[in-house]
Amino acid sequence: MFGFLRSQADGRSRVQKLREWFQGFLGEDLSEARGLKLLSEWLSPEQRAQFEAEKYFDVIGCDSGKRYRILYGSAMNIQQLDDRGRPLVCWCLVPDAYYIVPGDVMLAQKIALETNERAALTVANKFAPRETQPHVHTR
């Protein structure tokens, strides 16, 4: 019986090593790739084109009609834009979980702003935009 358990543990170890090798071979985290694929499936054609070109996409808040820009990342990555497309206010709105890949976080933010903007902003942290935001904070 112990031999069987050991062989199962060895098997899991081999599977884990194979997974790590495969992830290293691809040069990307498979979870992140799946998150980005799911996000892409939920974006409108315009949002998808914008995201592929710029690594961000715009959404319109369902309650206020305000425009928000969701930048690639998993925290501090939402900008509320003025009429000229400049950041007025920034928002940090993240799911309550240990770690979620950026694509999944961005999808949750999109859905929240497009379907329940007021409630989403109630739990979000608000902060002033920086003059330039060369790098969006990720976990």
In a domain, 117, yes or no: yes
In a domain, 10, yes or no: no
Helical (H) or strand (E) element with 71: strand 67-71
User: What's the helix, strand, coil split of the chain in %, to 5?
Assistant: 50, 15, 35
In a domain, 136, yes or no: no
In a domain, 22, yes or no: no
Q: What is the pLDDT of residues 41-59, one digit of tens each?
A: 999 999 999 999 999 999 9
Separation CA 139–CA 125 (nearest Å): 16
In a domain, 15, yes or no: no
Please state the pTM of the whole predicted model.
0.73
In a domain, 63, yes or no: yes
In a domain, 93, yes or no: yes
Residues 17-38 have a mean pLDDT of: 74
Closest by CA position to 99, among listed 57, 138, 134: 138
In a domain, 77, yes or no: yes
Contact 57, 43 (CB under 8 A): yes
Question: Is 5 or 106 the better-scoring residue by pLDDT?
Answer: 106
User: Containing domain of residue 64, as a range?
Assistant: 29-127
Count of domains observed in the chain: 1
| 112: pLDDT strictly greater than 80 | yes
